[in-house]
Each structure stands twice: as C-alpha cells, then as structure tokens.
Structure 1
C-alpha cells in the first residue's frame, strides 16, 4: 500500500490503485527526465514536496518519436551525461518520496531486455507505474503480463483520433489511469490547450471508471485547471523540462509545481 507524504484536500481517485487514496482532489503528475542533471533526483523530491500525486520519470531514448523538441533536448542532455536505465533506476532506488513513481519510455528499451526482466527491474527500484507511448494495444499483451507479475501498473494512452471501439478496449486494459493525449503530434509547450482534450476526456470517462489524465501540451496553471475541469488531472512535462534546460533548479521547479497544485485545487 502506498502512503502519501503530503496532506491535501481529498479527490475522486480513491480506491483506484496507482492514484488511490487522494479523496476528491485532481491529480497532478509532473515529469522529469532521468539523469538530466547530476542532482536530478532533487527535482523528484521537490515535486513531491510541492504536492505531486505521482511523478513521471522519463527513461531517455535516442529516438523518442512522440517527444517534441524540449523532451528530445532533455533526453539528449541526459544521454550525453552517460546515464543509462540502470543508473537511473539505481538513483531511484535510493530516492524515497512517498508518492508513486511512473517510468515513461519506449518499447525498444522494454523489449531489449524482455518485458519480464524490465518490469522486475522497475519494481526493484521502487517504480510502480509504466507508460510506453509507442506500444500499440494490439501488441501490449506481453508487457501487460510482465507488469502485472511484477506489480507494476501499465498505463495506456488514447488520442483524439482513437476510434470508439479501440478507445473502449484501451480503457478496459489500462491500469491506474488512462492517459489522454490532448492533441495529435509530439509533446511540447503550447500557448493554449487544444479543445480536443476536453472532448477526448468526455469520451474516455463515458467508458471507464478509471481516472482520466490529460497530457501533451499542458503548459501553465491556467491550462492545468482548464484540463482538469473535464478530466481527473494532468501530466505536465515539457513546460517543466524547458525550465530545467534553461537553468532552473529544484527550488524553482518546486515553486512551479506548487503553482500547478494550487490551480488544480
């Protein structure tokens, strides 16, 4: 059972696994690229202290097809520092923050060592969730089995163009929450949230009781609040990594995440 370090207002996600125990508040899942700086786990701690409900950890990959310029630059910086999946997981195994850690990476890394071994390594490091954005639901069964056996929550993604029948299947097979991609294209900061995000959240919520979190393009507290008006929470990635790439430290990012938390509350 996961214990939560920060006391906060209750929200609608209680009893739903990865994001359970939150009462009635909206979920906030900020992202950090593993190994982006030598002190990168200080960002993880800062996020947790600022009110994150889970933290997404990017495992850098050399060809991140769904990531926009910012996350690609963050991954390149981490890889240039010589980080590996093993070194990131070793760092995480020594990082205790009291909120769930969710790995985000590409299928190539999962299948390189085999889904079973990969998921066991995540679990051993204290990672309790996994997002693989380029894993089609048709090919997800081996990873589903491996994740379930390791006690890792496999979170699946839906997009605005996902047909209704496929959307229902993805929602039924996802665990923890359903990740609703707000727009077609790659990740990245946006000046405004695409209207397709709200429509997609409505479609997903019509077929599942799982929490629905909107990501890809949520860049400001105002956008986070707007997205959470229709969804159960947000994932914020590129806007935070742009700040790190520009030199912002853990204390700066703690303030940024605190502002997102306040907007959602």
Structure 2
C-alpha cells in the first residue's frame, strides 16, 4: 500500500495517520531494526527512517546525538537499504536523508534499490524544490514518492510550487528552526495549517516539536497525519516503554467530527 492509499485508508477509519521517526543504527544497527519491526507490529501507519549524516542541518540535538551514535556504529545509507530489504516490512517506510549520501550512492540506482527494499517515500531536506523537479525529470524514481517541507514562513507561491513536485504528502514544519520535542506548540500553528490546507492538493502531515498526545488532539482537525521523532529517540535513549508511548499517541488520532478542514479537500 502506497502513501496516498494509506492516508485514504486512515481517513476512512475516522482518524489521522501516525508517522514515527527512528534513526537507522541507533542505538545499534540491530536494535534499530528490532524497533522498526516493533513499530510495524504496533500498527503505526508509516515509519520514517533517518539515515545518519555528519552535517544534519534540519535536526535538533536529540536526533543529532542519535546520528552521531549511529555513524559510530557503522550505519550508512547503503547498509540501511540492505538491512531493511531483509526485513520485508509491510508498513510504508519513508527515508529521510541528505543529498550528499544520495549522490554518493548514485541517483540512477538508489530509487530502484529503495523500492525493492520496501521504501515508499523520500525526504531530502537540503534539496531545494527546483532541484527535486530536475531530479524527477532526468531519472525514473521507481514509484518512490518525494515528500517536501513547508514552514510557517514559506510564501504561498512557493507552497504551490512545492505541492506540484510532491507525490506523498506535504511535511508541515510546525515551527521555524530544527527538530526537537517541545512542551508547547507554536501558537500560530493552527492558522498556518488552515492556510496550507486551502492551498495544497496533497495530504498534510505535521512534524517538528510534536511530542504529546495532547498535541495531536490540538491539531488533528487540521492535518492528515502527525510525525513524531525526537520524542521517540528520547524514549529509546532512556529505555522507556515504547509500546505504551505509541499506544498513547494512537488513542489521540481519532477525529470525532468529520466536518473538519480536511473534509473539503480531495
């Protein structure tokens, strides 16, 4: 099942999608694969797998720490594709990586290898949308959806451009700055989401700073999904009960009133 199909499925169920981020290779390569399988068993809707990189410009200190550990553990883009291919996971997996590792791997090979391994989407935060369009024009992406980011300061005209070259979903960054769990949401988040929903044709998922079930409760009428990353890494690092944490998020996903801002979008 592809990314768009998954969003349609969860909407029919009267809820929004839960997308969970992990870093490949953290706390070890083997443990990260075990966590990936656990997330599938727990029924999360999509799994975002971060590829560790030495200069992760979009990531806050929590994910930077996980990346540093993963790099010491020998985690690479090539190893991630190889090891995840062995797992045969049915849950849609999204790769989050930077462009240098993609270039090093080879843009003419990576998409076919990703598809074979079970990846359905790719996020490359340091690749401008104009370059995404050029990349898609010159090589087949083998059914890998490009997922692009918009922020509260992205001009409307650029949001439309980003939407045009996006296949999977629009990743709405809830605040300006890097990733990281926050206690409070940006007070301007809801107006931002309302605006984005009126502009884009793709599903909208919200990430950066989402850490509590009450955050999901606050935004779920204005989004099609939520992405939780830093809080998951913190839980892994402190050996919290990941199963219970995921269940607490899942309980908050249901949208009781379907006359929300999502209903007017195709």
Q: Under a length normalisation based on structure 1, what TM-score does the superposition of the two structures give?
A: 0.88
Q: Deviations for 1:125-164, whole angstroms, at most 9, x for unmatched residues?
A: 1111101111111221243347753110111110000001
Query: In structure 1, what is the equivalent of residue 259 of structure 2?
Result: none
- Aligned-pair distance for 1:17? 4.1
2:7 to 12, 19, 24: 19
Would you say 1:254 and 2:243 are equivalent positions?
yes
1:30 to 20, 31, 55: 20
SS of equivalent residue, structure 1 residue 57:
strand
- CA–CA separation in structure 1 for the residues paired with 2:38 and 2:161: 36
Query: In structure 1, what is the equivalent of residue 96 of structure 2?
Result: 104
Query: In structure 2, what is the equivalent of residue 138 of structure 1?
Result: 130
- CA–CA separation in structure 1 for the residues paired with 2:133 and 2:92: 23
- Decide whether the 8 Å contact of 2:163 with 2:201 is kept in 1: no
- Aligned-pair distance for 1:124? 2.1
Q: Deviations for 1:228-249, whole angstroms, at most 9, x for unmatched residues?
A: 231111000000001112234x
- Decide whether the 8 Å contact of 1:51 with 1:257 is kept in 2: no
Query: Aligned residues, how many?
Result: 250
Unaligned runs of 5+ in 2: 255-266
Q: For 1:85-164, list aligned pairs within 5 A.
A: 85-145=77-137, 149-164=141-156
Q: Deviations for 1:78-106, whole angstroms, at most 9, x for unmatched residues?
A: 11111111221122112233210000011
Unaligned runs of 5+ in 1: 3-12
Query: In structure 1, what is the equivalent of residue 32 of structure 2?
Result: 40
Q: For 1:186-201, list aligned pairs within 5 A.
A: 186-201=178-193
- Decide whether the 8 Å contact of 1:27 with 1:232 is kept in 2: yes
Query: In structure 1, what is the equivalent of residue 47 of structure 2?
Result: 55
Distance verdict in 2 for CA 1:20–1:67, change over 3 Å: same
Query: In structure 2, what is the equivalent of residue 233 of structure 1?
Result: 225
Distance verdict in 2 for CA 1:203–1:32, change over 3 Å: same
SS of equivalent residue, structure 2 residue 252:
helix
Distance verdict in 2 for CA 1:147–1:48, change over 3 Å: farther
- Aligned-pair distance for 1:18? 5.5
Q: Out of 72-81 and 107-116, give the one that drifted further.
A: 107-116
Query: In structure 2, what is the equivalent of residue 5 of structure 1?
Result: none
- Decide whether the 8 Å contact of 1:158 with 1:167 is kept in 2: yes
Distance verdict in 2 for CA 1:204–1:148, change over 3 Å: farther
